[in-house]
Every structure is written in structure tokens, then in C-alpha cells.
Structure 1
């Protein structure tokens, strides 16, 4: 559901005494996050990728055949859903916070037959950016959905200078993707005391996908010095992704997963799907700390 019309660009900038953030109303997408004049979000270079921090809704990843079924009716959705391609409205705004909202409409109902309200709030608090996600089911039926974040952080100099330090020393098992679907294979990622050293070869088979982490916080290190941290409490899955030689690293907390290659297409039975009852609000929060 790519949208190719001309648009008036609306960028919202937030600030406090320590950090600032800029968000594009298209997709409510974070495009800058600065401290001491340093931007921690990568600057788009379409040679590699044309996004900075898209919201993933109402699916995460790719569906088998880009389609799913609900009550024996088939619908199509592109990878990561459609929210990132819509203009969000501003519900309220202060100097250091803003709430964006997307309502279901005639276009979303063609590919996703549920009434919803999706909110994404950005709030600055000291050195932290809090990203708060709210999904309300405004349909009469139980609403299946997934939601996830996809922020891309700037990588400078050598990619191998960077590592990830998780808050639990555990075994890291990555579930492998083939043609953007899980294929029932997995591999153990080498680590030491909760730390994974990064190199581009880690991503030769697409993203690292962790399904069973004990950790809910990770710190990105550069030459073993803390650079930033991401707290993803309440998100059961985590993706880590980049492209060959790209100057960014995506840290992606998810409430949802791509399809398995053996999936039968039934949306309700999809691995990782969230089920939301009528008029209930689902909420999650990601905290990015600049260190």
C-alpha cells in the first residue's frame, strides 16, 4: 500500500535541556534524535534503505504470499503493514512531547477489516526518548494484530567496533528467515557474558531474530563504551538488522512475527499474533537512552 501523492511535509521537533527529536507526520516516523549536536538516528541514504524508524502495524514482517485469511475471506497486506505509509494526525503537543494518531478508514478497511485507533506518543525525559504505543480495538469483534518498532541507529567508522550488551547473560538463539519467512531453522549467536560483537557477516541471512529472550534491555557499545540503550520491556521478540556495509543498525522490539513458511494463512493462528477484545487498549513503551 505505497502512497505516491505529493504531500506537505510536517516535521515536529521536540526538545528539552538535554536532547531533541524530530518526527515526520508521515508514519509518525522518528527521523532525528540529537544530543550535543550528534544525531543518533541514521540519515536516509536510499542506496541502502529509505526509512529511519517506521512503525510496524498491523503486522510485523512478511505474510506468506503477502496474504492472510479471516473468517474464510482473504486479504492482502504488504510487509510490515500499512501504518508507516499514512499521515498521522496530532492529538496533542507540548515542547517535549507529542501524540500522533491514526484511525481506521475506508482505505485501511480494504486490507484490514477492523476499526482501530493507533496512537504513538513521543516524550523526552532527560536523556531519554519514550516511545509509547497504544492500540484500541473499536470493532465489535476480537481484533488480531501485531505491532513493532524499527529504529535505525547511526553507525560511524568501523561496524566491527560495535557490540550489543544485554542485561542478562543468556544463550542467544536466532531464528532464521528465508525469503522473509521463518523456515524452522535457528542458530546460536556467539556471545560472552551477554555481549554480542557485531560484524556484517552476522546478517548474511537477514535479521537476527530472538524469540525467547530473558533480557529486556540492551546497550549499544562502541569500542566497549556505552553509546545508547534500548529498554523493550513487554515486547516478547527482538529483531536486529542491517544491510551489507550500511552505516546503521536497527534494534527492533516486536509484538509479532513474520509468517512461518508452513503457516496456513489463518490470521488468528499466526505465531506471535496479539488478540484484542472490543474497546480494550493495548499499550507498550520503548525507552531509548542516550549515554
Structure 2
């Protein structure tokens, strides 16, 4: 497994070339690890990049120009080897380009660049999607970082940036249902409990908050900021010692989805030869 390590005086980060996946984020002063170890007993990933779809397509299929294609959950980028195109002591940039194989399942010419940069106590992740073709391109992109929880799950809480109604959509058979629920909150703080995730991820289509802080015994531990991202997923598995805070552009299909990728709920449309940029910041507190 090929990886690249970047460091500054506060943090170190390690990124797998497969999937350009962040697999470690440590504080230098105490060597504390903040990214889930990827134990397959629970979940064998750390922080996959979701592209060119987020979530699940109905029957794992979609249509484009009256032709049907098949894409598995969260797309193919997380399983492909990226090229390391720039490396500095505190930053690394990775690139994935469309190939003959990707064009068979996703008929758009693209380049996906992911840049990791350490800035004091923060990791800045830059996502860039380039439409290299002559056709408008439909895509989704999302982050899926799993943060390691070393204490009992119930000792943690999520603090949202703003006080707001925390209304989330439920999943059914990996697709989005019409059912919504509202989180019971203590002001803007949500105590963690595995029962919250009995029906899979909590999916927030609309959220005024643009950051979430993980609290350990009411003390801020880590903040994830997602100014550009319109949607958010929060997920874990029963008894798993991690929590995923997942900013997204897009989400799973609904049961009444037409199947046309250009009409998909939450899809991003990128004009030919144009570039899409978004940023995410993980701050160790």
C-alpha cells in the first residue's frame, strides 16, 4: 500500500494513493490519532472520497442520453489509484482522470484533484472537479471521514454551529425515504447514542450550520467545517468506536427518482471545460 505523509509542527497526516484516502491525522505533541483505524470488523475504510455519486442509485443504475449505466454505492473514485502530482512537506495533491474503464460506467471526461494541506492545527482538504469533455457533466462528490472515539460512545456529543431545527431524512433500503425526523437537542448539542443510527445515516438536506464540533465529555475535541457543502450525513455502526461527519454535494436516490442522472436530486451540473471547487477543514482543538 503506497501512502504519502505530510507534516507541520502541529499535525501529521497520511494519505493512501488508493482513493486518495486520508488514513491518519495525528497531533504531534501527544501522537493522538483522530482518524478511524479501518478495522474491517466494523468498517474497513477511513475517509473515502465519494465520486461521481454519493450514496446509492435506485437498482444501482442510471440513464444518460437514453443509455443505461451501472454504478455501485458511492461511485468508483474510492477504489482507484490516484497519481501524486505535487508534494511539499505540509501538502500533497492527488489526481484521478477518466479512463476507458470509467467511461464505460460514467460517460464523462473528467479530472478529480484532491489536495491535502496542513495549516497550523487544521487540515484543509480541497476538492476540484474538472470537466474535460464537450458535454455538460452531472456529478456528486462527498467526504466520508470517520473520526476515532477512544472513550465510550455516550461520552460524546455533536455541537452544531447554529441553533436550528435539526430535521433529517431517513433511509430505506439504502435509498432516501419520504420520512423525516427531528433531533431532540440540548440547545445546539446532540448527545451521541447508537439508537440514533438504527435506520442508517442521518441525512440533512437543509442545514444552516456549516460546521460541527465533536465534544468529548463536553470538551471540544475536533471541528469539521464545510462552508461549500449543502448536505450533511452523520453515520456510525452499532458499537463501532467512530463517528462519520460527511459533507456532501448530493445523496442517494429516492424511490420515485426518474433515473436520469442529469435530473437526479442534488446533482451538480458542470459546463464543458469548467471547474468545480470546494473546501473542507478539519481542526484539531
User: Residues of 2 paired with 1:174 and 1:212: CA distance?
Assistant: 8
Who is 2:225 aligned against? 231
1:147 equivalent among 141, 146, 150: 141
- SS of equivalent residue, structure 1 residue 201: helix
- State the Cα deviation string for residues 168-205 of structure 1 (Å, max 9, x = none): 00000110100110111111111122111110000000
For 2:68, which of 74, 92, 100 is the aligned residue? 74
Residue aligning to 2:234: 240
CA drift at 1:113: 0.2
- In 1, distance between residues paired with 2:164 and 2:213? 15
Helix, strand or coil: the match of 2:251?
A: coil
Give the TM-score of the pair, scaled to structure 1: 0.96
Partner residue of 1:187? 181
Q: How far 1:157 moved relative to its partner?
A: 2.0
Name the structure 1 match of 2:9: 17
Mapping of residues 99-248 of structure 1, within 5 Å: 99-248=93-242
Query: How far apart are residue 218 of structure 1 and its match?
Result: 1.0
SS of 1:39 mapped into structure 2 = coil
SS in 2 for 1:60: coil
Aligned equivalent of 1:28, options 20, 24, 32: 20
SS of residue in 1 equivalent to 2:89: coil
Provide the rounded CA distance (Å) in 2 between the counterparts of 1:192 and 1:175. Answer: 20
**Distance apart, 1:108 and its partner CA:** 0.5
Cα distance in 2 for residues equivalent to 1:109 and 1:19:
38
Q: Secondary structure at the match of 1:80?
A: coil
Task: Give the distance between the partners of 2:196 and 2:111, measured in 1 at CA.
Answer: 37
Residue number in structure 2 paired with 1:6: none
1:83 aligns with 2:53: no
Distance in 2 between residues matched to 1:184 and 1:216, nearest whole Å: 24
In structure 2, distance between residues paired with 1:167 and 1:193: 11
Give ranges in structure 2 of 5+ residues lacking alignment. none
What's the secondary structure of 1:102's corresponding residue?
strand
Structure 1 stretches of at least 4 aligned residues deviating more than 3 Å after TM superposition = none
Task: Give the RMSD, CA atoms, in angstroms.
Answer: 0.6
Which digits, 9 at most, give the CA deviation of each residue in 1:98-140, with x for residues without a partner?
A: 0000000011001000000000000000000000000000111
The 2-side partners of 1:150 and 1:239 are apart by 8
Scaled by the length of structure 2, the TM-score of the pair is 0.98
State the shift of 1:261 in Å: 1.1
Q: In the TM superposition, what whole-angstrom CA distance separates every residue of 1:58-86 from its partner, at most 9, and x where no partner exists?
A: 00000000000001100000000000010
